[in-house]
Every structure is written in structure tokens, then in C-alpha cells.
Amino acid sequence: MIIPDRVGTIVGYRVWRVIPGKWVALSESLHAQTCQRSWSTTGPTVAYCPPRIQGDPNKPLVMSGSCEEAPGFGCACGLYARYEPTEEEHLLPYVMGSVLAWGRVVHHEDRSFFRAEKALPVAFVRPRGGSGVFPGEAEEKLYCIVEALGAGMVEDPEELRAYTEVEARKW
Amino acid sequence: MVKVRAGGEEKPEREEVVEPLEEPTPERRKERREEPPPRKKPEKISA
């Protein structure tokens, strides 16, 4: 049993990629911005550390072990979020939102982000347009994700911050 | 040896364990939203 350092949750902000279309299940439709890993649309997402391949041109590929508990302090695994929302506007399929995070948390204060063991999306900033192939479908899918997560939809980063801080106080 | 890591040089500063009294879930969040806000106690006014 791990004794927590403190009680509560940590507020974070991040960008996801919405996978449009009916051919992808809702449960597989909220992805990290840059990788193919999907976030849960029914509950908290739990981090895991996948085994990594280390390549040496002169040797056979080596599969290195994953962290026993994600996020590992010296690893890159975990659920990423920034401490502050960015003012940057995101076009679909990318969407900015907020999370409540908890469990093991590794802080990278110098670089303004943390990596958490568990996180639940809280709210999303309403997208102002799309740049992908199917922006209409991505928007439709986003509203389904919001509904499934019981999340909020806000108009701008300032409202996102206010909404998320109120939510965080409940836990 | 070439090590490839997502996110590049990470340089973590510290770690901690944070636990809510009750884990947030979509259902619990909806329930709490539907709960009425706590009533304020009436202020005592000295006569």
C-alpha cells in the first residue's frame, strides 16, 4: 500500500486528437496528440509503460523492460499535461482540454508539464473549425466523447481554467 | 547504442503520490453536479 503525499487531484491541460468517423469506435476516438494511444471515454485513463526497443546498428535489437509503476521517474511514460492552458487555438481534429490527474505524478516544473498515473478529462474548448479530412465528423465525435465522459464544453482557455478549478475543488 | 525516447530529454524535478478521497469518474461527476449546493447557515443577529 502506498501512502499518498497529499489528498486531492492535480489540474492539467493538454491537447488530444479526435479520430473522426463511425468506422472507429467511440472508445478508440480520443487519442494523444502525437501517438496512437487512445484515452478512455468511459472513465479515468491509467498510464502504462510499454516495452521499448533499443537499436544498435551492430547488434540485434534489444527490448528494454517497462517501468514497474508508470510513470517512472527517469522514463518518458505517463499521461502528460501542462500546468497552464495555452492561448493557442487548435483546429479539429485537435482539441484542447483539461484533466484531473492523480496517483503517482512526476513533475517537470522547469518544462511546465507533469506526467501522471491516472487522469480524467474534465472539459474541452469548443473548436472553431477543422483542418483535417473530416472536420464535421470529428466535431460530431467530439460531442459524443464529451457526453460519454460527462465533461464540459467551454468557449476559451480562460473559461477552461475557471471550469476546471471548480471541478477540482470537489475532489 | 542509440536510445530513442518519446518526449526527448525529460529532466524530472520531483515526484509525489496524490490521491483523491474518492476517484473521479464520469458517473460520480454527474452525481455531484446534480446534488444541490450546501445551504448556508443563517447568520445570528444580536438583538
Q: Quick: pLDDT tens for A76-126.
A: 899 999 999 998 888 989 999 999 999 999 999 888 999 999 999 999 999
Torsion of CA B15, B19, B25, B27, to 10 degrees: -160
pLDDT band per the 50, 70, 90 thresholds, residue B4: very low
A55 to B18: CB separation less than 8 angstroms, yes or no: no
Q: Does B31 touch chain A (CB under 8 A)?
A: no
Measure the CA–CA gap between A54 and A38, rounded to whole angstroms. Answer: 24
For residue A145, give the C-alpha cell: 466523447
Whether A4 has a pLDDT exceeding 90, the answer reads no
Whether residue A125 contacts residue A155, with contact meaning beta carbons closer than 8 Å, is answered with yes
Whether A37 has a pLDDT exceeding 60, the answer reads yes
- Model pLDDT, residue A168: 93
- Model pLDDT, residue A95: 94
Q: Which residue has the higher pLDDT, B8 or B16?
A: B16
Whether residue A67 contacts residue A49, with contact meaning beta carbons closer than 8 Å, is answered with yes
SS (H, E, C) A58-85: CCCCEEECCCCCCCCCCCCCCEEEECCC
From A45, which residue of chain B is nearest by alpha-carbon distance?
B25
Nearest chain A CA: its distance from B39 CA (Å): 16
Q: Does B38 touch chain A (CB under 8 A)?
A: no
Q: Which amino acid is at A101?
A: A
- Model pLDDT, residue B47: 62
Contacts of B33 (CB under 8 A, 6+ apart): A150
Report the predicted TM-score, pTM, of the whole model to 2 decimal places: 0.83
Mean pLDDT of the B22-40 span: 79
- Model pLDDT, residue B3: 45
Instruction: Return the SS3 of A160.
Output: helix
Whether A49 has a pLDDT exceeding 50, the answer reads yes
Nearest to A4 among B4, B10, B18 (CB): B18
Give the C-alpha distances (Å, rounded to integers) separating A104 from A43, A48, A80, A120.
18, 12, 12, 14
Whether B1 has a pLDDT exceeding 50, the answer reads no
pLDDT band per the 50, 70, 90 thresholds, residue A58: confident
Nearest to A43 among B22, B26, B30 (CB): B26
Whether B7 has a pLDDT exceeding 70, the answer reads no
Measure the CA–CA gap between A131 and A153, rounded to whole angstroms. Answer: 20
For residue A150, give the C-alpha cell: 460527462
- The residue length of chain B stands at 47
- Model pLDDT, residue B31: 83
Q: Which residue has the higher pLDDT, B29 or B46?
A: B29
B16 to A171: CB separation less than 8 angstroms, yes or no: no
A102 to B19: CB separation less than 8 angstroms, yes or no: yes
Picking from A36, A46, A106 by the largest number of B CB atoms within 10 A of its own CB, the best residue to mutate is A106
Share of residues in chain A with pLDDT > 70 (%):
96
Please give the full DSSP string across A45-56, using - where no structure is assigned: EE-----EEEB-
For residue B16, give the C-alpha cell: 509525489
Whether A23 has a pLDDT exceeding 90, the answer reads no
From A73, which residue of chain B is nearest by alpha-carbon distance?
B12
